[in-house]
Amino acid sequence: MEKRGSKVEIEKPYISSKLDKAEGAEIEALIAASKEPYPDPVAWLDEEIQRNVLLASTEHIIDWAKRFSVWPVAMGLACCAFEMIAAAASRFDFSRFGMEVFRASPRQADLMLVAGTLTWKMAPALKRIYDQMAEPKWVLAMGACTISGGCFRGSYSVVPGLNLIVPVDVYVPGCPPRPEGLIYGFMELHRKVAKDKLIKKEKDD
Amino acid sequence: MTKQLSGPEVAQQIGEQFPDAVTGSDETAVFVRSEALLGVARFIKESLNLDYLNSITAVDYIDHFELVYHLTSLKNNHSIILKTKCHDRENPIVPSVVSLWQGADFQEREIYDLMGISFEGHPNMKRIFLWDGFQGHPLRKDFHLDVPGGGKASL
């Protein structure tokens, strides 16, 4: 329960005005905490796992397996969701990449595919779903609104960029992007997943 | 095609019942004083069979707010527009018509949320889209994003 942070405790029986106040307080706290964007993630695994030694060939197999079964969690927020659905349906069919299983539960998903305008009212729910996903996890921001707020940037209700709320791995621009664009984004994500090493490498810079 | 009732005719009917209520009329609309709104709405609902409320809209004219009620009779296939003005900008209050048309419930809450007009007699007068604690009413002409919680205008 402590992990929820800004969540205000609600006593029973539920009273609508108290729920409203709690929701408002949660959103205000998130707005106050979301002034700086998260850096785009490069290294994902924590120190404990990185110190474990694995054989390179094992790593290769793990990467290969991870790469071809990235299950997305359904997070269609606005019109981009239809392009996402089109990409999943028979014509474009991203089950070719082993990722046809849209999970309704974040606990079974590896990828959060955020398609559409993110509003401040939705942002706490999105963050909660992201927090519930098991590691390793990736985030793909689809469409102009998700990436930067799009044409609603500067509006009173729209989050100006998903990376204020969660770290983002792949950005797919477009309004909305075509399914081909989304599939290209997936392939970039697969490349990124395959490059994720379990053993920490020395940094070049 | 739905027949548009003439504003002056309806205004005359209302004027016979409520002498002080009507402030004016044009081709399609009748203007009434906001204090008399509920009584007038109940009267024309019954006399003209206006069983359907298409929409309620609020307009910000800076020196006053105007509320627009689109009313239709599905039985007689005619319609009329009822308008009322609210001059108080600090604390605008207008009578609620939820007791006459249930469909007014969410629309009045939306107007309260985005325009800041309170509806007296509404069963659940609170914000509908924006969250509790949001500062200001964003569809008002004088709303600025710089207020706390109002997003990031500078980005």
CA distances from B45 to A27, B20, B28, B78 (A): 41, 19, 16, 12
**Chain B residues touching residue A24 (CB < 8 angstroms):** 131-134
Phi, psi torsion values for A111, nearest 5 degrees: -125, 130
Q: Does some domain include residue A40? A: no
Are A35 and B151 in contact by the 8 Å Cβ rule? The answer is no
Please tell me the total count of domains within chain A. Answer: 2
Residue B153 CB neighbours (<10 A): 14
Whether residue A12 is predicted with pLDDT greater than 70 in this model: the reply is: no
Q: Does some domain include residue B61? A: yes
Q: Tell me the per-residue pLDDT of A31-75, one tens digit each, with 9 for 90 and over.
A: 888 888 888 776 555 555 556 655 566 777 777 888 888 888 888
CA distances from A144 to A185, A186, B106 (A): 14, 17, 31
Q: Does some domain include residue B99? A: no
Structure tokens at A152: 């609603």
Window A:152-171, CB contacts with B under 8 Å = 153-158, 160
Give the residue ranges of chain B where pLDDT is below 70: 146-155
Q: Is A6 on the interface with B (CB under 8 A)?
A: no
Structure tokens at A116: 């559409």
Q: Is B147 on the interface with A (CB under 8 A)?
A: no
Q: Does some domain include residue A126? A: yes
Q: How large is the average pLDDT for residues A113-135?
A: 91
Are B113 and B128 in contact by the 8 Å Cβ rule? The answer is yes
CA angle centred on A165, ends A50 and A17, rounded to 5°: 130
Q: Which domain range does residue B77 map to?
A: 3-92
On whether both A182 and A98 belong to a single domain, the answer is: yes
Whether residue A111 is predicted with pLDDT greater than 50 in this model: the reply is: yes
Please tell me the total count of domains within chain B. Answer: 1
The whole-number pLDDT of residue B155 equals 35
Q: Which domain range does residue A12 map to?
A: 2-33
Residues facing residue B67 across a β-bridge: B58, B84
Q: Does some domain include residue B150? A: no
Residue A94 CB neighbours (<10 A): 18
pTM beyond 0.90: no
**Measured between CA atoms, how close is A123 to chain B, in angstroms?**
12
Q: Tell me the per-residue pLDDT of A183-194, one tens digit each, with 9 for 90 and over.
A: 999 888 888 887
Q: Do B131 and A153 touch (CB under 8 A)?
A: no
Nearest to A21 among B132, B150, B153 (CB): B132
Q: Do A120 and B131 touch (CB under 8 A)?
A: yes
Phi, psi torsion values for B26, nearest 5 degrees: -130, -165
Q: Is A27 on the interface with B (CB under 8 A)?
A: yes
Q: Is A85 on the interface with B (CB under 8 A)?
A: no
Q: Does some domain include residue A82? A: yes
**Chain A residues touching residue B133 (CB < 8 angstroms):** 21, 24-25, 27-28
On whether both A135 and A90 belong to a single domain, the answer is: yes
**Measured between CA atoms, how close is B124 to chain A, in angstroms?**
10
On whether both A12 and A107 belong to a single domain, the answer is: no
On whether both A28 and A83 belong to a single domain, the answer is: no
Nearest to A156 among B124, B133, B145 (CB): B145
